[in-house]
Amino acid sequence: MSAPPLGADGWWPEAIRYESPHADDRPDPADITLLVVHNISLPGGRFGGPHVSDLFTGRLDYNTDPSFADLRGLKVSSHFFIRRDGRVMQYVSANDRAWHAGLSVFRGREKCNDYSLGVELEGTDDSGFEPAQYQALAVLTLALQSRYPLTDVQGHEHIAPGRKTDPGPLFDWEYYRKSWQALLNQKALDEPALVGASAGLRFAKGLLQSQ
């Protein structure tokens, strides 16, 4: 399975497109080196509803569920959201800064939103994730690499330790890496130069790995 890279406008043709108001310009549009993996479900532990998209687009009805009261006034977004069945939604152009990481630091650099891309997986720390999500994430990762100089993939838990725990202990980093590697090997048959450019991508290995 392969997919085209993102367009020059930062939108991926394979994703269902929404547009979030919770985004702004990057300080340096050429500095996009980190991919951050999250999980989300609204209400917590329930999948398939419209509420994640409503949150990211500023349309969430806070009266729909009692747990939404804590989200009132929250302005948050992600570049991408991957459903349990592998469908991919996009809310912010990858050229722009989505508001997904919050207070964060990676390899001594703060404000990870400035130089990262955010991908939310529909799930929880306790639910685990579906094979279709890993496959979609691998395809998306390769598509992003085709356009941006990504060097690292980390979980939200790694860039905000003690504050965030997602994607959690049930996220299988090795399965994700192997899925990506298999796609990269397939791509090498048609675009061998891409393999050389992408081979150095560093994946997190698990919960709160040493940086």
User: What pLDDT band is residue 188 in, cutting at 50, 70 and 90?
Assistant: confident
208 occurs within a structural domain: no
pLDDT surpasses 50 at 159 = yes
pTM, two decimal places: 0.94
> Which run of H or E residues covers position 208?
none
Active site residue 120: yes
54 occurs within a structural domain: yes
Q: What is the CATH number of the domain that holds 141?
A: 3.40.80.10
Q: Which residue out of 14, 19, 110, 120 is catalytically annotated?
A: 120
**Per-residue pLDDT tens over the stretch 123-134:** 999 999 999 999
Domain tally for the chain?
A: 1
Structural domain containing residue 67: 16-203
DSSP code at position 164: B
Which of 135, 144, 207, 140 has the alpha carbon at shortest distance from 175?
135
**Per-residue pLDDT tens over the stretch 90-112:** 999 999 999 999 999 999 999 99
